[in-house]
Structure 1
Amino acid sequence: MIRLVGILVGLGFTFVVLLAFVTGAYTAATEEVAETAEHAFHEEAHGPEAGYSFDGVFGTWNYAQLQRGYQVYKEVCSACHSLKFVAFRDLAQLGYSEAQVKAEAATWQVPGINPDTGENEMRQALPTDYFPSPYPNAVAAAAANNNAIPPDLSLMTKARHHGSNYVYSLLTGYQQPPERMLEDFPDAAPGTGLYYNPYFANLNLAMAPPLTSDGQVTYADGTDATISQMSQDVAAFLTWTAEPALIKRKQTGLPVLGFLLFATILAWFAKKQVWADVKPKRRKD
């Protein structure tokens, strides 16, 4: 009797699951999906017209651009965003000398402890320190940014699809919402403290346009600091923070592929040589 009840319960459960599956499949196949503002107005990220120096198999770092991107981060982005996985000593990879790295680190303040009193205090950063957060904690970060916590930028280009292009498009993509969107999707209009950007996932984000005018940053090398140029430079810099070994990996990969191709050809000839004198056996009928 218990076995019969168990079988009936199992059959009932199977029937319910099958019915739910068939109903869901039928609904998905026949029901029209309502268009959303995100689907209608979201745009795919794109990079600068000239592209990036690190694109492609033979790409390389443009160290002058990386240094300009660091300058944009320091003077603009660091007011809200941290780089918690990057140490000041890593800047040596951008072409800075040891003395320059030490001097640059000293321009930043990081949390420390007073050796005499044991109390918390701010001190000059050392090359071994990591880039500090502009806020003491997440609560303070949210309170200063319309209840939105600015994300850390260390791995941003790895965390977003087409990361370098995403950063560039986001920084250059702020604009007024299209009239058609306001008419067809009034609920999608930017609320208080939000800004329309078609390259952001839900079109509206709490970050105000960080790059608002040409010449906002005065480049040390004299490059014309247009909004497009600054966006491209900081996107390249954030690509380096996320993948500092990108170019080295490409440079290593090409010889490895060449070796594997050579080894494959060599193995094929070796096989032909070893089995050259071996004749296939004839089948006896």
Structure 2
Amino acid sequence: MLRFFAPLIAPLVGLAFVAALLIAFAMPRDPVAPLPTASEEKGGFHKEPNDVHYSFEGPLGKYDNQQLQRGFQVYKEVCSACHSMRLVAFRDLEGIGFSKPEVKAIAKNWATETPSINPDTGEPATRKSLPSDFIPGPYANETAARAANNNALPPDMSLLAKAREGGPAYIESIVTGYEDVPAELKKKFPDFTVPTGLHFNPYFANLNIAMPPPLAADGQVTYSDGTVATKKQMATDVSAFLMWAAEPKLNQRHSLGLVVLGYLVIATLLAFGAYRNIWHGKKH
């Protein structure tokens, strides 16, 4: 008897599953209110990221190595004082156009030395960085980082451009978005205050951010290629560099995509030609 019904079990289970899906699809649903946008949640004062144009946007976009090198300079001279990039090695910088000697010099002269062990005593020590080392952070550990930043932990920047909604445009907006509390905000929310040690930034999630304005004025960095270092220029360059850090193979991925697309087009044309050749003159 069991042998007779066994072949029917699988089809019956499948039919039951399909029936359950059809019933669930046909059942009426309670109306669901759309989720509020970030701006609505903050009374309309939270801003969406700026519309920033980058060379790497779109399926044909590519990184601009000159811009990435400028962005690295901003990170090195400004951001690295608080933020680490522990997933990026110095030798990875060859991917944005630096030569091997340049990378070696960058690693050797980095402000923070690489943690090591004294071979004679076995005690913790530091040494000059090598191209094979990951970029050392400014603090020994999380406790030291929080102690130096009013208990706020500066995020690691290795994957920041991919981890934040809005990507590099969000970073550019945060860096350039510091302003005084609008009078309309004070009027609408009389109890709203900026706590001591925080700064008003409408692009940040709760409007108050612990990081002080990193780019205080134009010309804070002197670009080696002669580009005028306005605050917006520096913010755009460093956000582009952080995008590269998070997705360094983007150029290769876009190039491979074009090759695959070309292959598919050619394969489609050949298949159509074969079809016409085989069935040419034959009646259906």
Q: Which range, TM-score by smaller chain?
A: 0.7 to 0.9
| Maintained 8 Å contact 1:171/1:210 | yes
What is the CA-CA distance between 1:276 and the residue it aligns to?
3.9
Structure 2: stretches of 5+ with no match in the other structure: 1-27
| Partner SS for 1:60 | coil
User: TM (normalized to structure 2)?
Assistant: 0.82
**1:232 paired to 2:236:** yes
Q: CA RMSD in A?
A: 2.3
Residues 39/268 of structure 1: CA separation in 2 closer, same or farther (3 Å cut)? farther
Residues 90-149 of structure 1: per-residue CA shift (max 9 Å, x gap): 111121111111111001211111111111112100001001121111122112212211
1:55 counterpart residue number? 57
Moved more, 179-188 or 248-257: 179-188
Shift of residue 37 of structure 1? 5.3
Match of 1:244 among 248, 254, 257: 248
**Structure-2 change in CA distance of 1:221 and 1:263 (3 Å):** same
Alpha-carbon distance in 1 for matches of 2:272, 2:202:
54
1:266 aligns with 2:270: yes
Query: Which one-letter code corresponds to 1:176 in the other structure?
Result: D
After superposition, the C-alpha distances for 1:195-237 in whole angstroms (9 at most, x for unaligned) are 1111112211111100001111111222211111110110111
> Which one of 92, 95, 113 corresponds to residue 93 of structure 1?
95
Query: What is the distance in 2 between the residues matched to 1:185 and 1:277?
Result: 79
Matched, 1:148 2:152: yes
Q: Equivalent residues in 2 for 1:1-285 (5 A)?
A: 25=30, 38-48=42-52, 51-108=53-110, 109-276=113-280, 279-280=283-284
Distance 2:163 2:51 in 1: 17
Q: 2:259 and 2:40 mapped to 1: Cα distance?
A: 48
Which residue of 2 is the match for residue 16 of structure 1? none
Q: What percent identity do the matched residue pairs reach?
A: 53
Q: Which runs of 5+ in 1 are unaligned?
A: 1-21, 281-285
Aligned length: 252
Q: 1:39 and 1:105 mapped to 2: Cα distance?
A: 47
